[in-house]
Amino acid sequence: MADATGILVLGDAPAGELAATAQELLAAGRTLADTLGQELSIGLIGSDLANAPQQAIAHGADKVYSVTNPVLADYHPDLFLSAMQTLAGEANPNIILIARNNEGRELAPRLAFRLGVGLAQDCLEVSADASTGKLLANRPVYGGSAVAVVSCNRTPQIAAIRPKTYEPLDADAARSGQVVAFPVEIDSSMAKTRVVDVVKEEAEGIKLEDARIVVSGGRGLGGPEPFAQLEELANLLGGAVGASRAAVDSGWVPANYQVGLTGKTITPDLYITVAISGASQHMAGCSGSKAIVAINKDADANIFKDARYGVVGDWEKVIPALMETVRELTQS
């Protein structure tokens, strides 16, 4: 077998549009490909990819595999894995990049074990060594208290990249690339699990992940009632409300409010934390925020190490005054 070469991004195209995570992976992959002088390809998995292959080329891909089958219209881990495994065998890449989003959390480890290779999990940064072809990955460990630098010992070297850590490249419609049809033979009998019901618990208003301003509450709020005030502040600012794991575990707000290592990753322009201590597990979900404001009565709280502005005080007095001033400022 020829030596493994090239960088293969695995992505999808919900509703025929190249996923934002795939754009981010292409940006990371482009740098690796240029460093190594190797090709950047992307495997797009779905049933109808519409214009996504052209979008992928505009975002940096040299080659697009249209990995299609009608049963890939909806995400199913067993079917997507089978398609990915087939493509990895055919493309024989040196490096595979996959998003550590909700799907990638299960796909990346399973793909690595299926191929008998190592996985650099939840990476914040990847680089390549031009002389050895090795991928080096920085990944947070111990809830973000430390960073490990790891490499994979076999090819394909696989890295799962945390969403929103790479900025997509600007789309360049003039870029050229090759689109390869890659129909895969899979059928729904390969699925070992069945989704029998889907229950939506979407919070009203702006989605937490998309909000430009987020107001989050933590353990120090002491109960569910104060979240009504945080909602009011978020509404005033046109933002959304989040929470720390402590607040979710206490049952004060639903699980989908959780920001952090095991919750949502957010990158708002402004992140206001109220009575949140700033454990590294929480910061893992919000460290990409442009500005963090900390409101906490404990001057030694960790959150002040990550904040641009801090108020050491009692949230019960700070929040109403903050709202009043915001009202004056935004209505004048």
Question: Which residue's CB is nearer to another protein, number 56 or number 259?
Answer: 259
CB of 78 to another protein, least distance (A): 8
Do 121 and 100 contact (CB within 8 A), yes or no?
Answer: yes
Closest CA to 185 of 52, 50, 48, 71: 71
Question: Which residue's CB is nearer to another protein, number 6 or number 118?
Answer: 118
Report the residue from 42, 52, 112, 259 that binds another protein according to the rule CB under 8 A. Answer: 112
CB of 85 to another protein, least distance (A): 11
Question: Which residue's CB is nearer to another protein, number 66 or number 296?
Answer: 296
Closest CA to 267 of 68, 24, 55: 24
Rounded to whole angstroms, the Cα distance separating 148 from 309 reads 29
Question: Which residue's CB is nearer to another protein, number 48 or number 324?
Answer: 324
Q: Give the x/- contact pattern for another protein in 119-158, rule: CB under 8 A.
A: xxxx-------------x---xxxxxxxxxxxxxxx----
Footprint (CB under 8 A) of another protein, residues 283-312: 290-294, 299, 302, 304-312
Structure tokens at 56: 């992928």
156 upstream amide cis, omega within 30 of 0:
yes
Do 29 and 21 contact (CB within 8 A), yes or no?
Answer: no
Question: Which residue's CB is nearer to another protein, number 169 or number 203?
Answer: 203
Question: Which residue's CB is nearer to another protein, number 68 or number 265?
Answer: 265
Footprint (CB under 8 A) of another protein, residues 45-74: none
- Three-class DSSP category at 296: strand
CB of 281 to another protein, least distance (A): 7
CB of 8 to another protein, least distance (A): 18
Closest CA to 119 of 128, 108, 129: 108
Question: Which residue's CB is nearer to another protein, number 58 or number 279?
Answer: 279
Footprint (CB under 8 A) of another protein, residues 171-230: 192-202, 209, 213
Do 278 and 260 contact (CB within 8 A), yes or no?
Answer: no
Rounded to whole angstroms, the Cα distance separating 310 from 306 reads 10
CB of 118 to another protein, least distance (A): 3
H/E element holding 282? helix 280-283
> Of 103-111, 165-173, 176-184, 221-229, which part binds another protein (CB under 8 A)?
103-111
> Of 7-15, 39-47, 65-73, 256-264, which part binds another protein (CB under 8 A)?
256-264
Tokens 């059928």 label which residue? 187
Q: At what angle do helices 227-237 and 315-331 cross, to 10 degrees?
A: 20
Question: Which residue's CB is nearer to another protein, number 41 or number 287?
Answer: 287
Structure tokens at 59: 């975002």
Footprint (CB under 8 A) of another protein, residues 258-277: 261-262, 264, 269-270
Closest CA to 258 of 325, 318, 329, 203: 203
CB of 61 to another protein, least distance (A): 26
